[in-house]
């Protein structure tokens, strides 16, 4: 599974730390993933460089 990295992100809704799988075959992407704790959608922004995770941030979809 090349390009996949497991990373941790704090949920902007419940503040729990959740595990996300980042697909680093794409340089920059934004997608929505449901929090595994509170099930609310989180907009995840992912930046990768040369297949390595550079930046990972999450924000609430409501804002
Ligand atoms: Zn949550």
Burial of residue 23 (CB within 10 Å: 0-12, 13-18, 19+) is middle
Ligand 1 centroid, distance to 45 Cα (angstroms): 16
Ligand 1 centroid, distance to 11 Cα (angstroms): 5
Instruction: Give this prediction's pTM.
Output: 0.87
> Cα(48)–Cα(35) distance, rounded to whole angstroms?
22
DSSP state of 51: T
Ligand 1 centroid, distance to 10 Cα (angstroms): 8
Confidence at residue 62, expressed as pLDDT on a 0 to 100 scale: 79
Q: 39: which residues sit within 8 A by CB, 6+ positions away?
A: none
- Rounded to the nearest angstrom, the gap between the alpha carbon of residue 19 and the centroid of all alpha carbons in its chain is 8
* pLDDT averages per 10-residue partition of the chain, 63 residues: 87 96 94 96 96 94 77
Q: What are phi and psi of 48, to 5 degrees?
A: -125, 150
């Amino acid at each position: 599974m090349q390009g996949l990295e497991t990373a941790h992100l704090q949920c902007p809704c419940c503040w729990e730390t959740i595990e996300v799988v980042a697909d680093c075959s794409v340089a920059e992407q934004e997608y929505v993933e449901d929090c595994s704790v509170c099930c609310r959608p989180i907009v995840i922004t992912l930046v990768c460089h040369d297949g390595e995770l550079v930046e990972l941030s999450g924000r609430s979809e409501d804002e």
